């Protein structure tokens, strides 16, 4: 199953760990976090975000994220995250891609949390549901 992980850069390690687990289970996994680490490295990057957003690289990452969120078999949201991850959730929802959310303390989701097919407080429960979906 192709899975897109929507999450904030601040959750980098959680995204990487979940990606590793899901790949061991045989899933294809893509995320902005992995793409950014591949392209820019792991250093503490300091740059003008507005200029980057308007750059060709920013456009490339935007298209990558949008395609991942709308053409995958499943989107997994890891919270708490910000507006970009939530925009990916919204795009996935409009494309009728199922979305599973990993709830975290500090999550600031309001009414739009209804876009989730399911919320999970425990990553193991989330993994169990993903494995059950794989069999469908």
> Considering the entire predicted model, what is its pTM?
0.91
Q: Which of 15, 19, 38 is nearest to 29 (CA)?
A: 19
Radius of gyration of the CA atoms of the chain, in A: 14
Residue 121 inside a domain? The answer is: yes
Strands (E), the chain: 2-7, 28-31, 74-78, 99-102, 118-120
Residue 49 inside a domain? The answer is: no
**Residue 83 confidence (pLDDT):** 92
* 19: CATH: 3.40.50.1220
Residue 50 inside a domain? The answer is: no
Q: How many domains does the chain have?
A: 1
Domain that holds residue 17: 2-43+57-131
Residue 20 dihedral angles phi and psi, to the nearest 5°:
-60, -45
The tens-digit pLDDT sequence of the chain (136 residues) is 999 999 998 899 999 999 999 999 999 999 988 887 777 665 666 668 899 889 998 899 999 999 999 999 999 999 999 899 999 999 999 999 999 999 988 788 888 889 999 999 999 999 999 999 876 4
Partners of 5 in beta bridges: 31, 76
């Amino acid at each position: 199953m192709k899975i897109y992980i929507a999450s904030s850069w601040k959750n980098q390690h959680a995204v990487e760990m979940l990606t590793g687990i899901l790949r061991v289970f045989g899933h294809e996994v893509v995320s902005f976090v992995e793409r950014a680490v591949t392209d820019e490295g792991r250093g503490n990057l300091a740059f003008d975000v507005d200029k980057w957003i308007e750059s060709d690289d920013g456009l490339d990452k935007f298209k990558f994220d949008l395609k991942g969120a709308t053409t995958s078999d499943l989107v997994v949201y890891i919270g708490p995250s910000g507006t970009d991850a939530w925009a990916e959730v919204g795009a996935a929802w409009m494309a009728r891609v199922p979305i599973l959310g990993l709830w975290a303390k500090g999550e600031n989701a309001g009414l739009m949390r209804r876009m989730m097919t399911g919320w999970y407080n425990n990553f193991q429960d989330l993994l169990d549901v993903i494995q059950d979906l794989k069999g469908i």
